[in-house]
Structure 1
Amino acid sequence: MSSSKLNLLDFSQTNIRTLHLTWFAFFLTFVMWFSHAPMKPLIMEAFNMTGAQWKALLILNVALTIPARIVIGILVDKFGPRIVFSCLLVVSGLLCLGFAFATSFEQLAIMRFAMGFAGAGFVIGIRMVGEWFPARQVGLAEGVYGGWGNFGSAAAAFSLPTVALLYGGDDGWRYAIASTGVIAFVYGFIFYWKARNTPKGSTYFKPKKSGGLEVTSKKDFYFYLAMNIPMYLILAVLAWKLSPAGVKLLSQTATYTFYGVLVALFVFQFSQIYKVNKEMLAHGAPEHDKYKFKQVAILDWAYFVTFGSELAVVSMLPAFFLETFTSLSLVQAGALGAVFAFMNLIARPGGGYISDRFGRRKSLSIFIAGLTVGYCILSQIDSGWPIFLAVVAVMCCSFFVQAGEGAVFAMVPLVKRRMTGQIAGMAGAYGNVGAVTFLTAYSFVDASTFFLIIGGCAAVIFVIVQFLEEPEGHMTEVLPDGTVQKIELT
C-alpha cells in the first residue's frame, strides 16, 4: 500500500484479512482470560470464597503470563506465529473448560493460574502484524490489533453475565465461561487454515540462536540480565502472597519449593542468555547489526504502567462499581466496569496512529502524563459522585492508558525485526509484572490508594521515557545466505 491510511474493510487485500484474522484470535484469548471478572459474586458464592481468596485468584490470573510471554516470544520467532497462535488457542480453550467445571477452590486456582498462558497470545500477533505492514503503517496496524483484541475483556464483562442468566440456575456462570473456551478451541483450527506468517515472497527472519535475546554490547548484556530480575522478584512475591503468611493456598513446604524452582529457572535463563551472547562477548557485534537495548528496557517500563495498570483495573473495576454504587445490579456493574477496556477500540489504534504521525517519544510521553493525571482523578471517586461522571473519568483515564499501549507497540517492531517476538514478549511480560505488582498492592489497600499508587509509578516512568530515541533510517537483518538486507524505518 502506498498510502499511510488503512482501509480496514478492504478484504481484497491479504494484509487486511490477516490483520482481522489475528486481532480476533487475540480477542478470544482476552475473553477467556477475563471471563471470571464479571462473575465474581456467582463464583464466590459457588465456592464460599473469602475476599482474600478472590484477590489471590486475580493475582494468579496474571502471574503465569510473565514467563509465558517470554517463552511464547521465543517460540514465535523460531516457529512462526501461525502454528504458535493455533496451538495456544486450542490449549487455552481446554484450560478454560477446566476452570468452568472446577469443583474446588484449589482446582479453580490451578486452572486460573494456567489460564495465564492465554494472556501470552498478544505477543504472537505483534510479530505477525509487524511482518505484514510497513514501518509507516505499523503503529496503526498494531494499534488495531492490540486495541480490538484487548476489547475481549470488555466483551466478557458486557456479555457473560447476560449469557449466565440465559443459561439460568446455579451453574449458568459455568456454561457461560465454558462457551468461550469452545469457541477459542474451534477458532484455533480456523486460524491455522487461513493465516500465513508473511506476505508471499517475504523472508521470515529468525534469531541466530534461541533461548534469550541477542544483545550487541557488553554493557547491554549486563543491562539485559538486570532487567530480568524484576520478573523473578514479583513471582517470589506471588509465592509469599499464596503462602501461610498470605491466603494459605500453598503450604510452607510448597512455598519453599516454589522459591527453589524460581532460583533454578533464574540460573537456567541466565545460562541461556550467556550461551546466546557468548560469541558477541568475546568478539563484539558487527557494526551493521547493532541496536541499543535501552530502547527495549524503556518500552518494558512504559508497558509496565500502561498495560499493567489496565490488567489490574479491569480485574477489579466491575466489583469497584458494584461496591461503590450499591444501587447497581451485577449486570450493570459489569457493563460499567467494561468501559475501561471498551476504550481499546479507538484509543489503542489512535495511540499507534499518533505515534506514526508525530513521533514515538513525544507521543508516549504525552500519554503517560495523561494517565498519571487520570489515575489521580479516579482515586477521588466515591459514592457521592454521580455515576455518569465516574464513568466519564474512567473513560478519559482509559484513553491515555490504552493510547500509551498503542504507542509502545508502534515502536516494538522497529527495534530489531528478527527478534520482534522476543522483544514483544519481554515488554508484554513487564506488563504482567505491573499487573501483579498493582494487584498485590490492591490486596493491602483500598481502591483510592490503589489508583494513587499507579499514578505515582506513572510519574516516575514519564521521566524514564524521555531517554527513548526515535528510530531513524533503517535496521539491518542477515539472510540465511549471509546477505545483509536493509529494512526502512520511515
Structure 2
Amino acid sequence: MSSDTLNLFSFRGNTRILHLTWLAFFITFVAWFNHAPLLMAISESLSLTPDQVKTLLILNVALTIPARIVIGMLTDKYGPRLTYSLLLAAGSVPCFIFALADSFVQLALGRFLLGFIGAGFVIGIRMVSEWFPARQLGLAEGIYGGFGNFGSAAAAITLPTLALLFGGDDGWRWAVGLTGAIALIYSFIYYASVTDTPKGSTYFKPKKSGAMAVTSPGDFVLLLLMKIPMYAALALLTWKLSSGVGMITGFWAAVIYCALALLYALDAMKTFSINREVFSNPPAPIHRYKFKQVAVLDLLYFIAFGSELAVVSMLPLFFSETFDLDPVEAGLLAGTFAVVTLAMRPIGGLISDRWGRKPTLLVVTLGLVLGYFCLSTIDASWPLYLAVCAIMLCALFVHAGTGAVFAMVPLIKRSLTGQIAGMVGAYGNVGGLFYLTVLSLVSYQVFFLVIAATALLGFAATLLLEEPRGHMAEVAPDGSVTLIDVA
C-alpha cells in the first residue's frame, strides 16, 4: 500500500479486494437491470400492456433511494463484508420471484424488491476506502464504480443471448433466474474472501446509529433540508404511479403522501435524538467535519449521475426522431454515451488524486455546463457524426464527474463513509427522476438546457467546497484517537 502505483493486473493485497468488490457491484447491477433487455419477451409471454411495462420500469427504481440510505447505515455499523454478502444473497430472492412470476402483480413485486439491490454501490465505497490511501483513493473508487457500473451494459449484451440459448417462451425466465443464482453464489464467495480492513487496522463505527451524525447546529439544519428532496422524489414516484400509469388510485396516493410526510417528521425526530448533544456540548474541533461538503457532493452527483441516467434513457429516441434513424442504429449510437464510463470514471478519480479534488470538480462541472448547452443546439441540420462527437465529449465530463465526486466522499468522515456515500448516491437517483420528469414536460432542447442550468448552479456550489487537507480524527473502541491522512 506504500506505492503510488496501482497494479490492476495483480490479485494480491488491496488490489485483490478491489477486484472482488467491483465484481460484487457488477453482479448487483446485472441483477438490477436483468429485466431491461428482456422486456419485449416478458411482455409477450405475460401479455402485458404498455402501461404495465412502464410501471415495471418505475418500480425498479422506487426502493433504491431509501435503500441507499439504509444500506449506508448498515455498512457503517456492521461492515462492508457482511453487508455486501447479505445484500447479494437477499437480492437473489426477488430475482427468483420475477423469474417465476406468472402475473403482473408478481412481476411488480419482484421488480419493486429488486430496487434494494441497486444500493450495493454504497457498500463498496466504504470497503475501498478502508484498503487504499488517500493518494490512490480516487483511482481505486473510480475503477470500482466504472467497472461495476458496466454491469447494466453487460446485462443488455448477454441476457438476450442467454434467453435465446435456453430457448422457448421461458428463455427469459432462465436468464433472469441465472442472475439470481450468480448473486447467491457470489455472496458466499465474497464473505469468505475479504475482510473489512487490512490486518492490524481498526474499523471505525459511528457512536450512534439510526441517523447521520453532524457536529454543529447549523449542520443539523442543513441535514434536515437536504433530506427533503429525497422524500419529494418518492412523492414524485407515487404521482407517476397514480397519474402517469394508473397503478394506484388517488386515495392510496394521498395515503402514501401522508405517510411520507409522517416518515420525514419521524426521521427529523430521530436525527435530533442522535445529534442532541451538538446544541449543548459540541465535539472538540479535531472531531468535527463540515456537512456542507456532503451537501455540495449531493448536488454534484444529482447533476452528474442524474443526468447520466436520464440521457441514457432518452438518447435512442432523440437520435431516432432528430435524424430519422431506425431503432437499431439509434440504439447503437446512443450506446456511445454509456460505454465511456469504463475509462472516464477511473480517469476522473485519477485526476482528482493528482491535481486535487476541488479543482477537478470545478473543471468537470464547467464542462457539464458547456457540454449540455452544446447538446441543446443539436437539430436535424447538424451532421450526424458531429452530433455523436458532441454527445461523446459531454459524456467524458459526465463520467469523469461521477468519478471525481466519489474520489472525495470517503475523505470527509471515515466512520460515516457508508452513510455519506448512501446520501450522495441517493441524490444521483433523485437527479435521474427529476430530469426524466422534466423531459416528459418539455422539448429535448429545453431538457438539455435545464441540465446545463443545474450544472451552472453546481459550479457555483463547488466554489464553497473545501479541499481535503491534513487528517481526519476517529476514535477507536478503546478511546484512543487515530489520525487518518486525507491529503
State the TM-score bracket (shorter-chain normalisation): over 0.9
Kept after mapping to 2: 8 A contact 1:164/1:173: yes
> Aligned-pair distance for 1:484?
1.4
* Partners of 1:33 and 1:374 in 2: CA distance: 29
Q: 1:338 to 1:113 in 2, by over 3 A?
A: farther
1:169-188 matches, within 5 Å, as 169-188=168-187
Number of the residue aligned with 2:481: 484
> Aligned-pair distance for 1:111?
2.3
Report the residue type matching 1:349 in the other structure.
Answer: P
Number of the residue aligned with 2:14: 15
Deviations 1:455-483 (A, max 9, x none): 33222212111111101111111111211
> Aligned-pair distance for 1:175?
3.0
Report the residue type matching 2:2 in the other structure.
Answer: S
> Aligned-pair distance for 1:362?
1.3
> Aligned-pair distance for 1:254?
2.0
Q: 1:412 to 1:447 in 2, by over 3 A?
A: same
Number of the residue aligned with 1:6: 6
* Partners of 1:450 and 1:45 in 2: CA distance: 33
Deviations 1:296-319 (A, max 9, x none): 000011011111122233344456
* Partners of 1:34 and 1:319 in 2: CA distance: 20
> Aligned-pair distance for 1:402?
1.1
> Aligned-pair distance for 1:419?
0.5
Q: Does 1:411 align with 2:408?
A: yes
Q: 1:101 to 1:327 in 2, by over 3 A?
A: farther
Number of the residue aligned with 2:463: 466
Number of the residue aligned with 2:103: 104
* Partners of 1:110 and 1:383 in 2: CA distance: 42
Q: Note the residue ranges of structure 1 that are not aligned, 5 or more in a row.
A: none
Number of the residue aligned with 2:302: 304
Q: 1:125 to 1:23 in 2, by over 3 A?
A: same
Number of the residue aligned with 2:139: 140
> Aligned-pair distance for 1:4?
1.9
Report the count of equivalent residues: 487
Q: 1:214 to 1:20 in 2, by over 3 A?
A: same
Deviations 1:351-373 (A, max 9, x none): 00001111111111211222233
Kept after mapping to 1: 8 A contact 2:54/2:245: no
The one of 241, 246, 261 equivalent to 1:263 is 261
* Partners of 1:35 and 1:385 in 2: CA distance: 35
1:261-410 matches, within 5 Å, as 261-318=259-316, 328=326, 335-380=332-377, 389-410=386-407
Number of the residue aligned with 2:449: 452
Number of the residue aligned with 1:68: 67
* Partners of 1:326 and 1:101 in 2: CA distance: 39
Q: 1:337 to 1:433 in 2, by over 3 A?
A: same
> Aligned-pair distance for 1:342?
1.8
Q: 1:230 to 1:321 in 2, by over 3 A?
A: same
> Aligned-pair distance for 1:442?
3.0
Kept after mapping to 1: 8 A contact 2:412/2:468: yes
Kept after mapping to 1: 8 A contact 2:319/2:325: no
Give the alignment's Cα RMSD to 1 decimal: 2.3
Q: 1:377 to 1:36 in 2, by over 3 A?
A: farther
- Once the two structures are aligned, what percentage of the paired residues are identical? 57
What TM-score do you get using the length of structure 1 for normalisation?
0.92
Report the residue type matching 2:128 in the other structure.
Answer: V
1:408-447 matches, within 5 Å, as 408-447=405-444
* Partners of 1:185 and 1:395 in 2: CA distance: 36
Report the residue type matching 2:59 in the other structure.
Answer: L
Number of the residue aligned with 1:82: 81
Q: Which moved more, 1:210-219 or 1:278-287?
A: 278-287
> Aligned-pair distance for 1:230?
0.9
Number of the residue aligned with 1:157: 156
Q: 1:186 to 1:322 in 2, by over 3 A?
A: farther
Kept after mapping to 2: 8 A contact 1:158/1:334: no
Q: Give the 3-state SS of the residue equivalent to 1:120 in structure 2.
A: helix
Kept after mapping to 2: 8 A contact 1:347/1:403: yes
* Partners of 1:391 and 1:49 in 2: CA distance: 34
> Aligned-pair distance for 1:379?
4.2
Kept after mapping to 2: 8 A contact 1:158/1:338: no
Deviations 1:394-450 (A, max 9, x none): 332222111101111110111001110011011011111112212223333454443
Q: Which moved more, 1:439-448 or 1:29-38?
A: 439-448
Q: 1:297 to 1:128 in 2, by over 3 A?
A: same
Q: Note the residue ranges of structure 2 that are not aligned, 5 or more in a row.
A: none
Kept after mapping to 2: 8 A contact 1:144/1:349: yes
Q: 1:325 to 1:180 in 2, by over 3 A?
A: farther
* Partners of 2:178 and 2:376 in 1: CA distance: 36
Q: Give the 3-state SS of the residue equivalent to 1:213 in structure 2.
A: coil
* Partners of 1:441 and 1:105 in 2: CA distance: 28
